[in-house]
């Protein structure tokens, strides 16, 4: 279990709160505006130095404060020993992350604490722009293959150079050749890794979806961003005049996407709201299951308002899936109702009551009765 205790300072309405002892499944309940989502944001901040709600740090930082700090006793690598992990960020832009006495860069931190968020924005996996799906895909490829990040960075650099040459309008043919070769090289490498990741993920996705939602078959189709049977080199040459007119490169991995289909229709047009929630959750949970199989490490799931959109049966199935998984989960809800009684007695579950920015540990479900 990655996180054993947590201290949060100056995140939204959480001035200084502690969560301890943490369990594998942690349920945070409380009224609207009490601070439940803020706790999830604090954990996200610990893994990625930013919130999942908007990109501006000053919105996450408690009003009137100049720095935020989240500190944990953690065993993210599953070594059986807790070590201190802390992230501090100031309003003037300083970010410091330390684990076991060592300073970490953003990539090392992201590798150390793999996080998955399931909230109302997760619907964007079906309804949103392709960028959201590429981010999802790249999270998986990043955690599945250590070489992916180098290829991704190489590709981004080449694309940026090519696009700035296109924007100038006049391209030296030798320069174009150099950057095209670099772009094609990394585009191929990262696309092979993306495809390999999707191929590995598919069985997990199907199994997870079958556990969460019966009677709906969803197919996943990966589209790499160009017609690979024609080859990127030929296509870049073919579309060069158009790229020049537009001032950017139109084809390549920057246009990759995943399509979700139910029968012949897009899942976004075909499924109900609750069904969509279960499909996108299955997608994220499948990532955690695959991550665990490949690395033997657990993911942390931040699930905001789990019961919303779901009827009791589907909510129960969702919890049963989490219970059987290896993940550490932080689940918020307004009314703990079902979420306080759905677990098997042997499951390690803790309830926390959140009230106006304070947290009370209520023990395991059933301790209160």
Ligand X SMILES: Nc1ncnc2c1ncn2[C@@H]1O[C@H](COP(=O)(O)OP(=O)(O)OP(=O)(O)O)[C@@H](O)[C@H]1O
Q: In whole angstroms, how close is the CB of 10 to ligand X at the nearest point?
A: 8
Between 53 and 162, name the residue whose CB sits nearer to Mg ion.
53
Number of residues that bind ligand X (CB under 6 A): 15
Least distance to ligand X from the beta carbon of 31, Å?
7
Q: List the interface residues with ligand X, window 63-82 (CB under 6 A).
A: 63
Window 23-62: residues binding ligand X (CB under 6 A): 30, 32-38, 59, 61-62
Cβ at position 329, least distance to Mg ion in Å: 16
**Strand order, beta sheet including 102-103:** 14-19, 3-11, 67-74, 83-90, 95-99, 102-103
93 marked ligand binding residue: no
Minimum distance from CB of 304 to Mg ion (Å)? Answer: 6
The answer to whether 89 contacts ligand X (rule: CB under 6 A) is: no
Judge whether 300 and 115 are in contact, CB under 8 Å.
yes
**DSSP state string for 6-36:** EEEEEETTEEEEEE-S--SEEEEE--TTSSH
Instruction: Residue 321: name the closest of 286, 365, 291 by CA.
Output: 286
- 40, 302 in Cβ contact below 8 A? yes
H-helix or E-strand spanning residue 313 = helix 312-324
Per DSSP, 81 falls in state -
Residue 134 binding result from ligand X, Mg ion, none, given CB thresholds of 5 to 8 Å by partner type: none
Alpha-carbon distance of 198 to 140, in angstroms, equals 9
The interface partner of residue 326, options being ligand X, Mg ion, none and the CB cut-off 5 to 8 Å by kind, is none
Is 272 one of the annotated binding-site residues? no
Q: Which of Mg ion, ligand X, none lies near 33, with the C-beta cut-off 5 to 8 A by kind?
A: ligand X
Distance from C-alpha of 140 to C-alpha of 124, rounded to nearest angstrom = 17
Residue with tokens 């495809």: 195
* Closest separation in Å from C-beta 127 to ligand X: 20
Site residues for ligand X, window 328-347 (CB under 6 A)? 334
List the beta strands (DSSP E) in 111-165.
115-118
The answer to the question of whether 38 is labelled as a binding residue is: no
Query: Does residue 30 have a known ligand-binding role?
Result: yes
Nearer of residues 235 and 334 to ligand X, judged by Cβ: 334
Binding interface with Mg ion (CB under 5 A): 37
Nearest residue to Mg ion on Cβ basis: 37
Q: Which is nearer to ligand X, 24 or 36 (CB)?
A: 36
Binding-residue pattern over the window 5 to 24 for ligand X, x denoting contact by CB under 6 A: -------xx-----------
**What's the closest the beta carbon of residue 33 comes to ligand X, in angstroms?**
3
**Residue 177 assigned to a binding site:** no
What's the CA gap between 136 and 140, in Å, rounded? Answer: 7
- Is 325 part of any known ligand binding site? no
Tell me the β-bridge partners of 264: none
Query: Any binding-site annotation on 295?
Result: no
Query: Nearer Cβ to ligand X, position 56 or 214?
Result: 56
CA distance to 48, 65, 115, 117, 291, per residue, from 92 (Å): 18, 11, 26, 27, 35
Residues in a beta bridge with 74: 3, 83
CB of 322 to ligand X, least distance (A): 20
Looking at residue 61, the DSSP 8-state letter turns out to be B
Contact 267, 260 (CB under 8 A): yes
Residue 163 is labelled as binding a ligand: no
In whole angstroms, what is the distance from residue 354 CA to residue 359 CA? 5
Q: In the complex with ligand X, which residue's Cβ is closer, 31 or 172?
A: 31
Rounded to whole angstroms, the Cα distance separating 58 from 64 reads: 10
What does 35 interact with, of Mg ion, ligand X, none (CB < 5 to 8 A by kind)? ligand X
Residues found near ligand X in the complex (CB under 6 A): 12-13, 30, 32-38, 59, 61-63, 334
Q: Residue ranges for the binding site for ATP?
A: 30-37
């Amino acid at each position: 279990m990655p996180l054993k205790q947590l201290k949060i300072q100056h995140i939204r309405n959480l001035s200084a709160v502690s969560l301890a002892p943490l369990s594998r499944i942690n349920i945070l309940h409380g009224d609207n505006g009490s601070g439940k989502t803020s706790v999830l944001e604090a954990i996200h901040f610990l893994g990625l130095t930013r919130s999942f709600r908007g990109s501006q740090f000053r919105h996450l930082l408690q009003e009137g404060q100049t720095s935020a700090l989240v500190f944990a006793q953690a065993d993210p690598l599953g070594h059986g020993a807790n070590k201190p992990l802390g992230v501090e960020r100031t309003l003037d832009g300083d970010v410091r992350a330390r684990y076991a006495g060592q300073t970490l860069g953003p990539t090392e931190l992201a590798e150390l604490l793999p996080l998955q968020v399931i909230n109302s924005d997760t619907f964007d996996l079906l309804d949103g722009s392709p960028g959201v799906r590429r981010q999802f895909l790249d999270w998986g490829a990043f955690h599945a293959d250590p070489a992916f990040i180098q290829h991704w960075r190489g590709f981004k650099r080449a694309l940026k150079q090519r696009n700035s040459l296109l924007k100038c309008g006049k391209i030296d043919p030798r320069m174009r050749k150099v950057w095209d070769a670099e772009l094609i090289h990394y585009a191929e490498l990262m696309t092979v890794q993306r495809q390999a990741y999707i191929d590995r993920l598919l069985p997990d996705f199907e199994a997870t979806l079958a556990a969460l939602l019966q009677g709906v078959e969803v197919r996943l189709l990966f589209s790499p961003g160009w017609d690979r049977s024609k080859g990127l080199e030929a296509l870049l040459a073919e579309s060069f005049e158009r790229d020049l007119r537009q001032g950017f490169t139109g084809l390549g991995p920057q246009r990759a996407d995943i399509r979700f289909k139910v029968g012949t229709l897009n899942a976004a047009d075909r499924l109900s709201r609750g069904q969509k929630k279960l499909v996108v959750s299955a997608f994220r949970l499948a990532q955690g299951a695959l991550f665990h199989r490949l690395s033997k490490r657990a993911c942390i799931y931040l699930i905001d308002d789990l019961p919303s959109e779901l009827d009791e049966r589907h909510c129960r199935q969702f919890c049963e899936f989490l219970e059987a998984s290896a993940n550490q989960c932080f689940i918020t809800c307004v009314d703990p109702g079902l979420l306080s009684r759905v677990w098997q007695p042997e499951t390690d579950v803790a309830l926390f009551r959140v009230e106006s920015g304070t947290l009370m540990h209520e023990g395991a479900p059933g301790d209160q009765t």
